[in-house]
Amino acid sequence: MTTTQINVDIVIIGGGIAGLWLLNRLCSNGHNAILFEQGELGSAQTIASQGMIHGGIKYALGGILTGASEAIADMPDHWRRCLQGEGDVDLRGAKILSDHFYLWSTQSISSRVSSFFASKVTRGRVDNVPKSALPEVFDHSEFKGKLYKLADLVLDVPSVIAKLTANCAGSIFSIDWKKSRLKKNSNSSIDYLSIEIDKQTTLNINAQQFIFTAGEGNEALQTMVSSDRPAMQRRPLKQVLVKHSYNHAIYAHCMGSNPSPRLTISSHETADGKMVWYLGGDLATQGVALSDTEIIDNAKKELRELFPWLDFSDSEWATLYINRAEPQQKGLIKPDKAFVAAAHSCSNALVGWPTKLTLSPNMSDEVITLLEARKIAPQFEHKHPALQQLPVPNIASPCWESVFSKKVE
């Protein structure tokens, strides 16, 4: 058997938005960094995202501007700079679905008050929309609520993944964990990543640093290297998708009596030319334990109540169950910023979760700060040609294309 030793600066394991953004940053900084993904790029959490790049409005809906909303206040502008080719990552060519987002209240007093205070505390990030400027989906005599326009944006996540991948062509590879392993040494560090190409060929990849960005998969990676911290928590969602012939897109939060949105809607055009409304918010968080039929019935009721002037009777319906992987918090609360920490009992490994799509740039900043503290500088200029023996992963298909093969009528 032939074993080839390969030296790189950094190995990233996990090809969602967090790992891909980090790979872009590290390669731009001159590091010889490579990324491994066991499935498709962006699969699981990333591809299931509604694509909202928000500046914290969801955390101010109760009338209080928290530390969480302040931490992400710059994120829409940060992403816009990248989309223009002026940021820390080049996202030119990624598709913007909408350059703003709406927040609307129903006619209930509590909803109006929550929306009013949210608009006040976000200071310039929210504009009142007069009736004369209502978008078509709300421009109806039966709409009695209040509409605000948010200084947020919505991206087509598959195009973001594709752009981040193209930027780093030649540095992204598939990995089969049935034929691969992380080998630790007696000094409690990862000695190398061993990958069996075939029965005659093995690659041993040495790196100054290993970084786990695999979302829910971080737990298994930490188990491989006997690290039980940082601990992970899962917060499940059950989203509903409705595929219809109404061709007007909507990107909006509906406020109810809770601080969190009653319903969040994003819109995505499918390959057959129809539109999918992707439904989240309280509908998705509170409906986790429901059957598909039950949560779809709830979604139909919500849309009838909120859009009585629209007809969804000939629509197709489907659900998507998602586990949001995050660093463990007391009481299973939502983390308020991106998270990166050293893997316990593994001196050259970091574990990270962006916690939200919006905060992916923030997570990379945190990683780079830790790498600088560890004095991890570029050492290996060229990529070993033996890496080209490894397969390259595909980009995941959008959930609004795939879930309707298992739809519930």
Reduced 3-state DSSP string for 350-403: EEEECCCHHHHHHHHHHHHHHHHHCCCCCCCCCCCHHHHHCCCCCECCCHHHHH
Contact predicate 294/182, CB 8 Å: no
Q: In what side-by-side order are the strands of the sheet with 52-53?
A: 52-53, 153-155, 96-98
Q: What is the pTM assigned to this prediction?
A: 0.95
Contact predicate 167/90, CB 8 Å: yes
For 131, counting Cβ atoms within 10 Å of its Cβ (0-12 exposed, 13-18 middle, 19+ buried), the class is exposed
- pLDDT values of the chain reduced to their tens digit, one per residue, 409 residues: 899 999 999 999 999 999 999 999 999 999 999 999 999 999 989 999 999 998 876 555 555 445 555 668 889 999 999 999 999 999 999 999 999 999 998 877 556 555 555 555 555 578 889 999 999 999 999 998 889 898 899 999 999 999 999 999 999 999 999 999 999 998 899 999 999 999 999 999 999 999 999 999 999 999 999 999 999 999 999 999 999 988 889 999 998 878 789 999 999 999 999 999 999 999 999 999 999 999 999 999 999 999 999 999 999 999 999 999 999 988 767 777 899 999 999 999 999 999 999 999 999 999 999 999 999 999 999 999 999 999 999 999 999 999 986 654 4
In terms of Cα–Cα distance, which of 350, 381, 22, 15 is closest to 209? 350
Cα 69 to Cα 119, 282, 330, 353, 358: the distances in Å are: 13, 19, 19, 18, 12
Task: Give, for 286, the enclosing helix (H) or strand (E).
Answer: helix 282-286
Q: Give residue 408's pLDDT.
A: 47
Q: Give residue 258's pLDDT.
A: 81
In terms of Cα–Cα distance, which of 129, 181, 131 is closest to 151? 129
Give the contacts of 371 (CB within 8 A, at least 6 positions apart).
10, 209
In terms of Cα–Cα distance, which of 156, 24, 27, 162 is closest to 90? 24
User: What's the residue count for the chain?
Assistant: 409
Domains of the chain: 2-46+161-231+329-396 (3.50.50.60), 52-155+234-325+401-406 (3.30.9.10)
Residue in the structure block whose two tokens are 């992970």: 232
3-class secondary structure, 219: helix
Contact predicate 6/384, CB 8 Å: yes
Pairing mode, strands 33-37 and 172-174 = parallel
Q: Give residue 126's pLDDT.
A: 80
Cα 271 to Cα 274, 390, 400: the distances in Å are: 7, 31, 10
CA distance 327 to 325: 7
DSSP class of residue 51? -
Tokens coding 28: 């731009």
Q: Give residue 342's pLDDT.
A: 97
Question: Residue 21, Cα to own-chain centre: how many angstroms?
Answer: 11
In terms of Cα–Cα distance, which of 272, 236, 259, 349 is closest to 63? 259
Please provide the DSSP assignment of 232-261 as one string: EEEEEEEEEEEEES------EEEE-SSSSE
CA distance 160 to 162: 5
Contact predicate 393/24, CB 8 Å: no
